[in-house]
Amino acid sequence: MYKRLRKEAAEARRSTDPDLLLCPSEDNLMDWRAWVRGPEGTPFERGVFELEIKACGQYPLAPPTVRMVTPIFHPNIHGVSGEICLDILKQEWSPAWTLASACTAIRALLSAPNPDSPLNCDAGNVMRAGDMDGFRATARQCVEDHARGGMPSRDALGDLAAPGKAAAPPGRCSTWTAILVVLVPVLWALSAI
């Protein structure tokens, strides 16, 4: 397990991927941090999102636990816990994935929000109601409020990857959501009149 994680750490150090920054914590190869850039053409494009990654003793036969630290308005990412609903992190995990490719899959999830079986019911409901403009506006606002810290520099990584230096606590996107969820039906009703 450590052999594999050491290889992944060496690879992460060599990486020049402009959209993903990944590194283990200085004192524990089981704890990692990652930053992914929001994909262009999505409401997340101006944001950089921090991920907390924990490998278990069975890694890579068992998937890593990945949590989004940066608050985000997305149907498949829990607004408070940061839990991510992605098949390859659960029943479709295979050791053919690495921490880096799993982060890339999470980035792809930002481009493909799926409102069925949502972890963030507010985001799911807005999308299911067909209000894509409302979804995008709320998601963009959440990016402005929480995800504008930019990509950390690779040189400064040693410090940033230390545990306990995570960004702001998650969960604040739900206030916005609550307002929106109330507003959308009201506006809808008004427009009908």
In the complex, the residues that contact other proteins under the rule CB under 8 A are 3-4, 7-8, 11, 57-58, 60-62, 85, 88, 90-98, 101, 116-119, 121
Q: Which of 23, 56, 85, 121 is catalytic?
A: 85
Give least dist CB 85 to other proteins, A.
6
Q: What is the distance between the alpha carbons of residues 8 and 59, in angstroms, rounded to a whole number?
A: 12
Dist CA 19 CA 16 (whole Å) = 9
State the nearest-atom distance from the C-beta of 122 to other proteins, in Å.
Answer: 12
**Shortest Cβ 116–other proteins spacing (Å):** 7
Q: Based on CB atoms, which residue is closest to other proteins, 71 or 118?
A: 118
CB 36 within 8 A of CB 51: yes
> 51 or 89, CB closer to other proteins?
89
Nearer to other proteins, 100 or 168 (CB): 100
**For other proteins, the closer CB: 40 or 92:** 92
> Is 121 tagged catalytic?
no
- Cα distances from 95 to residues 1, 4, 16, 91, 171, in angstroms, run 11, 10, 23, 12, 32
Q: How far is CA 119 from CA 76, 78, 91, 181, 193, in A?
A: 5, 5, 17, 16, 33
The candidate with the shortest Cα–Cα distance to 127, out of 68, 189, 81, 180, is 180
Rounded least distance, CB 119 to other proteins, Å: 5
Catalytically active residues are 85
